[in-house]
Amino acid sequence: MPYDLLFIYKCLPVSIPCIIAGKLRGKKVMIDWDDLDSAFQPTAFRKAIAGWTERWMPRFADVVTTHNQRIKEQAERVGARKIIIVPR
């Protein structure tokens, strides 16, 4: 099915193949980042994986949307190019 925008909900490891496929097809990628999932993981391994995806994924998005300033600043630190705060 054709599409113009790949919409990713959260920075999760399962989304990495989708981002790669979308970018290879020349599609726009949008990530909605609503919280720092790495902070909520129960084990050190899961925290590390979630933290890695939160550092890696935003730099490949064409736009990151969030609802708060803290995540906007985190997205800027990890290389996101365009960040939009969506009001609640």
Task: State the distance between the two ends of the chain, measured CA to CA, in whole angstroms.
Answer: 32
CA distance 49 to 81: 22
DSSP state of 10: S
Residues of the chain with pLDDT under 50: none
User: What domains can be seen in the chain, in order of their start residue?
Assistant: 5-85 (3.40.50.2000)
What is the model's pLDDT at position 37?
84
What is the model's pLDDT at position 88?
77
Judged on CB neighbours under 10 Å (0-12, 13-18, 19+), 35 is middle
State the alpha helices, DSSP H only, in the chain.
16-24, 44-56, 69-77
What is the model's pLDDT at position 87?
87
Question: Which residue shows structure tokens 């935003």?
Answer: 58
What is the model's pLDDT at position 38?
85
What is the model's pLDDT at position 40?
87
pTM to 2 decimal places: 0.87
